[in-house]
Chain A
Amino acid sequence: MQPRGLTAALPETSARTVTHRRLVSGPNSSRRWVIGYLFILPTLVFVGVFSYYPAVKAMQGAFSNWNGFNPPVFVGLGNFVQMFQDPVFIASLWHVLIWTVVGIPLSLIPPFLVAEMIFHLGKARSQYVFRTMFIIPMVLPGFVGLLIWLFIYQPTGLLNQFLGAVGLGFLRHQWLADPHTALGALIGMGFPWIGAFQLLVLYAGLQAIPMEILDAAAVDGVGTWSRIRAIDIPMIRGQWKLLFILAIVSVPQNLIAPLILTDGGPGTATVTPVFYMYQTAIGYGLYGYGMAIAFLLFLAMMLLAIVNMKYIQSQPD
């Protein structure tokens, strides 16, 4: 794409004199760094006030006893000690572990397979059509997607009616009301798990693989599976890294699904640490305890992300 704006801009800017250039701190000015700081200043103010300040408060709060009104009282590691004697918190750790271990592959593998399938369609036209079809579900706002799945899982909802219609009526179940299936139902939401964002990112990666490499592989008679393993997956390492890190930080954050669909129940079957943080702070007014839960989960996620970054980077590029 050629910059049409550039040709339009040239005559006008060339009218500027040398003195004027110095005044506006143009790219050759010695005071150009001031412009640099001015450009990032609004961002710094916003993230300082609405991201870093609350983050610092969150870490302070984790070591205090606080009901949100009276001044916080420093309690050292008290909240953390209490946490590991709290059966609900222990249960929530198991839930988030299961959710992460199952959820991350679910968020990456189906989009990758579909990206490969679309990429290997012969015609550019059909690639475009399928890409579009898989992006359409993005028009459903996040909470709407959840509420529709709430309908699907209802005792008289779509899933049970479907099972009845295909002769599998004996499998009908109270998916969200049974402690044994509630967590699985939440994790399974979004079937067949073809995330539009992941799909597009991976598809873009495949498109960027140099044609010569794919041609050479075809000439050498490399089969589909070996090519995917030996060429496609390593060549889109940058995309994998990004999506993997995003999945690690987003999957354990799952708060809204238990909040809207199950309220953590039945019993504590779908309580996740983040949901429990919300419940203790907003529901019970235990702000300090809630923030301690959030802080611990944050540390665990950071550790996971760092280990993964290191591991992925240590591979030869």
Chain B
Amino acid sequence: MWLPAGLIVLAFISLYPIIYAVINSLKTEPQSTVNPFWFTNWPLQWSNFLIAFETIWHAFFTSAIITSVSVVGIIALASLSGYAFARIPFPAKNVLFMIIFGLLLVPGFLTLIPLFIEIKDFGLLDHDLGLILPYIAGGQAFAIFVFRSFFSGLPDEIFESAVMDGASDLTLYGRIVMPLSIPIMVTIAIINVVGIWGDYVLPSLVMNATGHRTLAVAIVSFEAPKFAPSLNVYNIELAAYLLASIPLLFLFSFLMKYFIQGMTSGSIKM
């Protein structure tokens, strides 16, 4: 009996920052100062969310475009490469794989400054592509690593019969590998959406123009006093944080099954 009880306590503490944000995003600032732990008086301040949305909606959609294009690019390119590394024999395969795999050991901070300068030299500052292209590159190593390991584990028999019928590699990839790999692809997509949607450092350098920012940049600079003085700045900020979490909430509610299936398929290990 202590096992579920302990888990409930731990889960409650883990979830508390979210609960705290929800409670206080619906109050006025004086109400939160009196008691931040629970609702003190009604009515709830839904207007906080309206003001927050007006402030961040542009950045919200900018981030939505950048994230979705990047993730589709990562999955498309990495699954093709993962298929080639797992299923097609070609010269220098191991060397090429190590070249890509080695990128897992190249940390983001090493390339941050040269990458920023490169993006600037390409004239892509304040342009969505200035983030999309590096994100697609940055997502390759991990995704290929997982895809290769998953595709290698698919039973040979299902390939053999299709090959006997003259299927090309593109057919094998599109008709056999893809349908069987939806959970693992969804998993890799979610991991990348979470990473890109929540990224701050590169966007703070590349998309810092007022009026065209990513959500992370807009929300972090939300604190700045440029915001119209209002009694509830602190609560409106919390409302903005929750709005920023909505896409991930949707993603998880619809794809949770696939995500857990993919994560627990046994391909994510060394």
Contacts and interface: CB of A to CB of B under 8 A. Distances in A.
Interface of A: 1, 3-6, 8-10, 13-14, 16-18, 20-21, 24-28, 32-33, 35-37, 39-40, 42-44, 46-47, 49-55, 57-58, 61, 68, 114, 117-118, 120-121, 126, 130-145, 147-149, 151-152, 156, 158, 161-162, 165, 191-192, 194, 197, 200-201, 203-205, 207-208, 236, 238-239, 241-242, 245, 249, 253, 255-256, 259-260, 274, 277-278, 281-282, 287, 290-291, 294-295, 297-298, 301-302, 305
A159 B122 CA distance: 46
A161 B36 contact: yes
Contacts of A118: 7
Contacts of A205: 269
B248 A40 contact: no
B50 interface: no
A274 B91 CA distance: 39
Contacts of A21: 166, 168
Contact of A253 (B14, B108, B176, B260): B108
A55 B118 CA distance: 11
B179 A39 contact: no
Given A27-B172, A298-B110, A144 B165 contact: no
Given A140-B17, A194-B14, A282-B205, A35 B169 contact: yes
Nearest to A192: B13
Q: Looking at chain B, what size class is its interface with the partner chain? A: 35 or more
Nearest to B85: A40
12 contacts: A5-B176, A39-B81, A43-B78, A46-B136, A51-B138, A53-B118, A57-B118, A58-B114, A117-B6, A139-B252, A194-B14, A253-B108
B66 interface: no
Contacts of B18: 136-137, 139-140
Nearest to B118: A54
Q: Which residue, A46, A156, A287, has most C-beta atoms of chain B within 10 A? A: A46
A224 to B, nearest CB: 11
B81 A43 contact: yes
A281 B113 contact: yes
B163 A43 contact: no
Contacts of A17: 166
Interface of B: 3-4, 6-7, 10-11, 13-15, 17-18, 20-21, 33, 36-37, 77-78, 80-81, 83-85, 88-91, 93, 96, 99-100, 103-115, 117-118, 133-134, 136-138, 140-141, 144, 158-159, 161-163, 165-173, 175-176, 178-180, 191, 194-195, 197-201, 205, 215-216, 219-220, 234, 237-238, 241, 244-245, 248-249, 252, 256, 259-260, 263-266, 268-270
B166 A16 contact: yes
A296 B138 CA distance: 21
Give the interface SS of chain B, mostly helix, strand, loop or mixed.
helix
Contacts of A137: 14-15, 17-18
A43 B106 contact: no
Contacts of B158: 3, 6
B7 A256 contact: no
A43 B140 contact: yes
Given A133-B11, A137-B15, A51 B110 contact: no
Nearest to A298: B110
A27 B167 contact: yes
Contact of B167 (A9, A55, A140, A249): A9
A114 B10 contact: yes
B266 A26 contact: no
A147 B170 CA distance: 46
B21 to A, nearest CB: 6
Nearest to A3: B180
Nearest to A126: B4
B166 A20 contact: yes
Contacts of B90: 32-33, 36-37
A9 B176 contact: yes
Given A51-B111, A55-B106, A287-B113, A139 B248 contact: yes
Contacts of A140: 17-18, 241, 245, 248
A68 B144 CA distance: 34
A146 B161 CA distance: 52
Nearest to A281: B113
Given A6-B176, A138-B194, A143-B220, A253 B269 contact: no
